[in-house]
Amino acid sequence: MNEPEIIINGVSVNTGCAMTIRVAIESFAADLYENGLGDDAHGKRMVKSYMDRIEEIRAEIYRKWPK
């Protein structure tokens, strides 16, 4: 399976960097799911916002991968 093409400041990162970014995003998502960012309203809003963005990123990362 090929890693997604990730471009930072106009430069396409190599496969190892793309894999590291993908794994970091998934690790962050897992941490948010497990630990959240506090039980107050602000923490819950932040988790929702981060997870919404992560879902947008996932849609692009996994769009071309076989299911």
pLDDT of amino acid 45: 98
pLDDT tens-digit profile of 8-66?
A: 999 999 999 999 999 999 999 999 999 999 999 999 999 999 999 999 999 998 887 66
Surface-to-core class of residue 26, CB atoms within 10 Å of its CB (0-12 exposed, 13-18 middle, 19+ buried): middle
Domain boundaries, the chain: 7-63
> Which residues lie below 8 Å from residue 21, measured CB to CB, with a gap of 6+?
6, 13
Q: How many CB atoms lie within 10 A of CB 62?
A: 12
Q: What's the token pair of residue 53?
A: 């963005």
Chain centre distance of CA 61: 9
